[in-house]
Chain A
Amino acid sequence: MSGVRVLVGTRKGAFILTSDEKRQDWKIDGPLFGGWEVYHMKGSPVDPNRIYASQSSSWFGQIIQRSDDGGKTWYAPGGEELPDPYGPPAGISNRFLYDTSAETGAPLTTHQWYDGTQHPWEFKRVWHLEPSLTDPDVVYAGVEDAALFRSTDGGKSWHELAGLRGHGSGEQWMPGAGGMCLHTIVLDPTNPDRIFVAISAAGAFRTDDGGKIWKPINRGLRSEFMPNPTAEVGHCVHRIDMHPSRPNVLFMQKHWDVMRSDDGGDSWYEVSGNLPTDFGFPIQVHAHEPETIYVVPIKSDSEHFPPDGKLRVYRSRNGGNNWEALTNGLPQSDCYVNILRDAMSVDRLDSCGVYFGTTGGQVYCSPDSGDHWYPIVRDLPPVVSVEVQTLP
């Protein structure tokens, strides 16, 4: 019997919600890694039992956790190796070091700080984990301060794809209020050498050679908070999504504006249309309808809650511009939660399920593409990320 497994990362641990294909009765497991921030968990598309989790803490730093049994048990890959008991620590578990080597690295060691001065690159945490579409041992990590890392040994060791940070504009990148994070990694299912990433507040970037050479793909974006609103870099992209059947069509929720590209990011145009506000964080494409997309409008960059206290998901069935409010089952008064950029996902069952988590600790599910909603749970810690696995 098929079903779904919803992986929920929160400010105080992780939770796993499971159900059969009816999505009526749910089993709640957790908290995993209680007391730690879990920015993201994601399963391998080729081995659903393989799940990676980013566990972090301002006190104790970054831990990568891995499960090989669908989330029942976890371990830190690499952390189990026992080196010489009196030698220096030999392991490489959880180590994210920027590559500054002459052979493969980027000499760049500073980026723009809030006051305009240059500031050293400093690793803080992993925001997003993106497992390979073909190999469960290959996984990408988007980190703060912004860089892209890759592991080819199931998370034991990590190596920076330094061409991104060193491609030329890095010294102009600047952190937003949430830090300078690489939060979006989109893999092209038709071309393993093509990867899209997004960074706040630098913009979107693409490689066509597996990560060696990168270029900014921000033409058409306009950000009024920048001295030059159409500059090549500096845009605060919040999230990008793609339907796997059309890898040249990208949808973006920017700091303000919902955008679309039909040429793999070479150019963008606005599709905010009749949204009540085009500020927001997540954007998600329907599992089976490439022109059906979802956003959750947020009042403004100064007021991170839904307009009028009404929690409304907006759906466009024709690729943007024409949006309808989805409200059935969602609170329509006195609701002042936020929905963060990685906190929305879809399943791939015949009737596509849509899910999102809130900073108020609710995880909502719609088993019918957004027509009806209900909360799976109401009182988790603030939800940072939601990913869904569709199980055979």
Chain B
Amino acid sequence: MSAMVSQVRVELPFHLRNLAKVQGEVRLDVPPPVTIQTVLDALEAAYPVLRGTIREHGTGKRRAFLRFFACATDYSHEPADTVLPEAVAAGKEPFMVVGAVAGG
């Protein structure tokens, strides 16, 4: 692994862990800059079955019922090229993909 490449931790919701056939957090090698987009690109490259489940096919927009959290901050409405905190890039804090809650 290049010294420039960060190992980013990604936390996925239950159904996406099942789909990707992973348990616990996913660790991804992400080249700089570590942004929302580069993390999701790396995630989809490593787990192609997740394409379209977090970002819409075609538009690349975040799916409406999903949220992106990191370091106690909501990044859901930030532009895709937003640089994530150093703690995420350093693997100290996870980038979290969270499903919206549904009652009933």
Contact = CB atoms under 8 A, between A and B. Distances in A.
Interface string A74-99: 00101111111111110101111100
Given A84-B45, A86-B31, A91 B99 contact: no
A85 B29 contact: yes
B85 interface: no
Interface residues of A, number: 29
A36 B53 CA distance: 13
B77 to A, nearest CB: 17
User: Sorted from nearest, which 6 A-B pairs have the closest CB atoms?
Assistant: A79-B49, A60-B53, A89-B44, A59-B65, A91-B48, A95-B57
Nearest to A36: B15
Given A59-B99, A61-B63, A97-B57, A91 B15 contact: no
A89 B41 CA distance: 6
A76 B19 CA distance: 9
Nearest to B65: A59
A201 to B, nearest CB: 24
Contacts of B48: 78-83, 89, 91, 93
22 contacts: A35-B14, A57-B15, A60-B16, A60-B53, A60-B66, A61-B53, A61-B56, A61-B57, A80-B49, A81-B48, A82-B45, A85-B46, A86-B31, A86-B42, A89-B44, A91-B51, A93-B51, A93-B52, A94-B49, A96-B57, A97-B57, A123-B57
Contacts of A63: 19, 49, 53
B58 interface: yes
A59 B63 contact: yes
Interface of A: 35-36, 57-63, 76, 78-89, 91, 93-97, 123
Contacts of B52: 61-62, 93-95
Contacts of B72: none
B30 to A, nearest CB: 9
A85 B30 CA distance: 9
Contact of A60 (B42, B57, B63): B63
A82 B63 CA distance: 23
B3 interface: no
Interface residues of B, number: 26
A94 B58 CA distance: 12
Interface of B: 13-16, 19, 29, 31, 41-42, 44-46, 48-49, 51-54, 56-58, 63, 65-66, 99-100
A62 B53 CA distance: 7
A61 B60 CA distance: 13
B51 A89 contact: yes
Given A91-B51, A93-B48, A95-B51, A59 B57 contact: no
Contacts of B51: 79, 89, 91, 93-95
B41 A59 contact: no
Contacts of A89: 41, 44-45, 48, 51
B56 A59 contact: no
Given A59-B13, A60-B16, 8 more contacts: A36-B15, A57-B15, A58-B65, A81-B48, A83-B48, A85-B46, A93-B52, A123-B57
Contacts of A85: 29, 42, 45-46
A270 to B, nearest CB: 39
A391 B54 CA distance: 38
A217 to B, nearest CB: 31
A76 to B, nearest CB: 5
Given A59-B100, A60-B53, A87 B45 contact: yes
B104 to A, nearest CB: 12
A256 B45 CA distance: 49
Q: Which of A57, A60, A80, A93 counts the most B-chain CB atoms under 10 A from its CB?
A: A60
Nearest to A96: B57
Nearest to A55: B19
Nearest to A75: B49
B95 to A, nearest CB: 17
